[in-house]
Amino acid sequence: MTKPIDLKEEFPHLSKAPIVEAVLDIRITPKGDLDEKKISSFLKEKLPDYPTQKGMISKTLEIAVGKEPQGPIVKDLGFMGSRVESTTEPYIAQFNKEAFVFSRLSPYNRWEIFVPEAIRLWNLYCDLVCPEEIQRIGVRFINKIDAIEGSVDLGNYYENSPASIKDTDWPILNFMHKDTYQPMASYIVNVIRTVKRGQDTSGAGLILDIDVIMNMRFRNNLESIMDHLVKMKWIKNKTFFSSIKPEVIERYK
């Protein structure tokens, strides 16, 4: 029996959170093509604090398979949207034909700062694209847990860590594991755990990649989006704090 979900559950605040990138991804049902000049002019006017702007072009690569092999065929799908960057904070946003993507690079601050900024830009995206239907919402947090010794013992960091092959003491040199869970209806969370090797101990660490996805179509409505984000915040927090050893979490408070 699945344990009841307590959305009021409180989690420790980490003033030195190990988040290297936080992403909010809202997929929509596209209504038509974007006009490059229109979107460029719109973003320059509405987002003066995101002056770095770059158009994105989509291409596909097709390789024919048959008795007489042919070279690859590249198809230009044209303008797909614009990417903008803030000059004051490590924010990046994509205004795409099929999605709005907002990310915060390290240093991460707080959900209460990250989400309002994302929603501010999402509202501009809605003014520009006028999406009627939301197809999917994604919240992804990539964490890098720094290693503090030369030989990384996963058992010192992860709860439910992998062990060596039975009856051997062979060290684990490389590790990558993916699990997919369903914490509640219409929501899944992909959890990837891997080891990042550096040139020395300062570059080594463990990657905990938490990707929460809401798969349920609904009419575009900010209240509904915010309701989903409350649940997704709890899922990503529950996943993180249940995956890492308490003594490791203490290092980031």
pLDDT tens-digit series, residues 228-244: 999 999 999 999 999 99
Token match 């947090």: residue? 141
Report residue 36's pLDDT band, with 50, 70 and 90 as the boundaries.
Answer: confident
97: in domain: no
Other C-beta atoms lying within 10 Å of the C-beta of residue 175: 15
Instruction: Indicate the average pLDDT of the chain.
Output: 87
Amino acid at 205: G
Examine the pLDDT at 93 and tell me if it is beyond 80.
yes
Examine the pLDDT at 58 and tell me if it is beyond 80.
no
Out of 128-137, 145-154, 213-222, pick the least confident.
145-154
Report residue 1's pLDDT band, with 50, 70 and 90 as the boundaries.
Answer: low
Examine the pLDDT at 78 and tell me if it is beyond 90.
no
47: in domain: no
Q: What was the pLDDT predicted at 227? A: 97
For residues 184-214, one letter each, b for 16 or more C-beta atoms within 10 angstroms of the residue's C-beta and e for the rest, the string is eeebebbbebebeeeeeeeebbbbbbbbbbb
Whole-prediction pTM: 0.87
203: in domain: yes
Question: 200 lies in which domain range?
Answer: 19-24+138-250
Q: What was the pLDDT predicted at 62? A: 56
What is the tally of structural domains in the chain?
Answer: 1
5: in domain: no
Choice between 209 and 38, residue whose per-residue pLDDT is larger: 209
Choice between 102 and 159, residue whose per-residue pLDDT is larger: 102
Over residues 138-162, the mean pLDDT reads 82
Q: What was the pLDDT predicted at 28? A: 96
Over residues 130-158, the mean pLDDT reads 85
1: in domain: no
Helices assigned H by DSSP within the chain: 36-46, 111-129, 222-243, 246-250
Over residues 30-53, the mean pLDDT reads 90
